[in-house]
Amino acid sequence: MANLQIRVDDALKADADRLFASIGLDTSSAVRLFLKQSVMRGGIPFALLGDPYLPSLQEADARVRAGEPSFSEREFREKAEALLRGLQV
């Protein structure tokens, strides 16, 4: 049997331990489940989603680097409203 060693932040490990314990698993069993599901499905067994704010942040960064304001008040309001609609708030 192979031994797998990974490094993770202490707080992340503690949070994961608590979560898995709350559903009756230890962290090693949860990692084994993840690996088995990945192999069975032929990929990561959950959707990998990007940051919905990244395009807006990249656009603002490009404007600032060009010496322009990141957003006008109108653009900021429109973007905020669109994001809130997307979150269904």
Tell whether pTM > 0.85.
Answer: no
* Sole residue written with tokens 């192999």: 39
Q: How many CA atoms lie within 13 A of 63 on its CB side?
A: 12
* Sole residue written with tokens 């084994």: 32
Structure tokens at 84: 């809130």
Q: Which residue has the higher pLDDT, 48 or 18?
A: 18
What pLDDT is recorded for position 54? 81
* Cβ–Cβ < 8 Å for 33, 46: no
d(CA 20, CA 54): 31
Give the model confidence (pLDDT) of 24-79 as tens digits.
Answer: 999 999 999 999 999 999 999 988 877 777 887 888 888 888 988 777 778 888 88
* Cβ–Cβ < 8 Å for 17, 28: no
Domains of the chain with CATH codes: 1-46 (1.10.1220), 54-87 (no CATH)
* Cβ–Cβ < 8 Å for 52, 86: yes
